[in-house]
A and B are shown apart, each in its own frame.
Chain A
Amino acid sequence: MGKKLMSNLEGYRSLWPRRILVIFSSLVLFFLTAPLVILIIQSFTNESYLSFPPPTYGTRWYTEVIYSEDWQNATFLSLTIAIIVTPLSLVLGTLVAFGLERGPKKGKQTIQAIMISPMVLPHIVLGLGLFKIALQFNISDSLWAFVPAHLTITIPFVIVTVGASLQTFNISLEEAARSLGASKFWAVWYITLPIISPGLIAGAIFSFIISFDEFIITFFLATFQRTLPLEMFSTLMYQVKPSIAAVSALTLAITAILTVVLMFRGQVVGGGKIIK
């Protein structure tokens, strides 16, 4: 009896033999990451065409991209939009997360579902509707259209990430600060916000990257202006040149650096405030 039980347990454990799981998963993770590594390698070609592995290496295409006015303008526009959108999205989304967490339990779920619903709406549909409205207000092809459009898709991510942090936050800490004479605002500022900073940082990173990466909505709204994804798209449709690989690698670097910086700064700021 005991022997049979043991062999059954053993059998269960070896059902998905670890080795097969590890090998299969490694292949999947390789599939996820290898294309980006290959892209970076190809971007350092010195030839006028793309090939793998490149016959000679160099930074020729990076130089060309960095000094090209089209790419400069597109990068500038994308950064401008993302830099306006990120703080606005963080503030608006955090307010909503607080409102939902501190508000009545009754109806909370329905309201939360409505507030994050832009998340599940396909961007092609949202872009179509926004384009119509922007035409009506005569603001298409300007920041007045791009920024609110991007906010609509970034705010739900802030609501989710900050909301998750708030749920694990122990409210008695804030109440302690208030009982010691802190006003509601400063109690939240010095106690709550530093503690939920992981959620805030995640929300900010998501906002920035989603805005920086957004394609189809901006594609509808823009006529002459081009963000980085739009410029990449039109170049790609015309010809696959090494410059597109260099721009892609640079975009990758921008998002990677920003992610690291935001995480690092967030930790430092959060830590500082707790000590204060």
Chain B
Amino acid sequence: MEKIDNNKISSWWLLVPTSFLYIITFFIPLITLLVMSFSRFESSVTTVGFYLDNYEKILTDGITLKIFFQTVELSLMITLFCLLLGYPVAMLMRRVGPKARLWILLLVVSPLLTSIIVRNVAWVLILGRSGMINDLLISWGLISKPLPLMYNAFGVVLAVVHVYLSFMVLPLFAALSSINNSLEEAAASLGAKPLSIFFNVTLPLSLPGIMAGCTLVFILSMGVYLTPVIMGGNFVVTLPMLIEDAVRNRYNWPEASAMALLLLVAIGIMIVISSSIQKWVKS
């Protein structure tokens, strides 16, 4: 039987100030949203109670659900591109010497130290109607009218991938560098072909990193507001934009809360899927 040390228990007093803050700034707000989502909103008056109006409206009005699935689709696309761009970089980081690895790591992490809005501004200056690419292509006479590079899904995906790629590379690198080289060499010595080694040894062993990176990027992409607004104009609508509109323009707290809960449920499902895939692979 484990004896619980009183001296150790007393260390938990150190958690009190932050817990107190979290209760006010984290738990109460979340509970409030949960309660609000079951409230009724009628002619600008909110009645607290247990009504399913908001959820019914979200699921049946045909628009909210469609935008929700668009947001999921966009987030999956962003996650996929982050994985495709990030995996080779993580592979290279594993192969090179410590000095080169540090430099690559620095370049990968550096965007995390620069403001998201600054990075979005940079993309507006590059992809905009009179941005760098269109400017150059027109002056070289390759096109006569500016190409639509932003205010569409392409611009949004590109800019969000740029913002979140670092979050993919870091867990991938952690997972890849924990694989023992001799496992791959053993497979090779037993006659496995290079491609089959990659798909049967390297890739499965790096799966925890892949799942961690994908889950993280998917969660972040589902909740991103700023980049779709800047890069998509009004042409790409996502769930966070609907939430913002419901509260700030229509003062409809119950509906906004229900949409926020929908977002959380989607994220919860993603976490469950990724952890069950990991368990399934382990067994």
Contacts and interface: CB of A to CB of B under 8 A. Distances in A.
Contact of A216 (B104, B225, B253): B225
A51 B124 CA distance: 12
A93 interface: yes
Q: Is the interface of B mostly helix, strand, loop or mixed?
A: helix
Interface residues of A, number: 83
B193 to A, nearest CB: 7
A233 B227 CA distance: 10
Q: Is the interface of A mostly helix, strand, loop or mixed?
A: helix
A84 to B, nearest CB: 14
Residue of A15, A38, A102, A212 most packed against chain B (CB within 10 A)? A15
Interface stretch (B51-59, B62-70, B181-189, B273-281): B181-189
B29 A12 contact: no
B269 interface: no
A31 B162 contact: yes
Interface of A: 4-5, 8-9, 11-12, 14-16, 18, 21-22, 24-25, 28-29, 31-33, 35-36, 38-39, 42, 49-52, 92-93, 95-96, 98-100, 102-104, 106, 111, 115, 117-118, 120-126, 128-133, 148-149, 151-152, 155, 205, 209, 212-213, 215-216, 219-220, 229, 232-233, 236-237, 240, 244-245, 248, 251-252, 255-256, 259
20 contacts: A21-B88, A28-B86, A32-B107, A36-B111, A50-B125, A100-B15, A117-B26, A125-B30, A125-B263, A128-B256, A132-B33, A133-B32, A149-B25, A151-B21, A152-B22, A209-B115, A216-B225, A245-B125, A255-B114, A256-B114
Interface of B: 2, 4-5, 8-9, 11-15, 17-19, 21-22, 24-26, 28-30, 32-33, 36, 85-86, 88-89, 91-92, 95, 104, 107-108, 110-126, 128, 130-132, 135-136, 162, 165-166, 184-185, 187-189, 191-195, 197-198, 219-220, 222-223, 225-226, 229-230, 240, 243-244, 247-248, 253, 256-257, 260, 263-264, 267
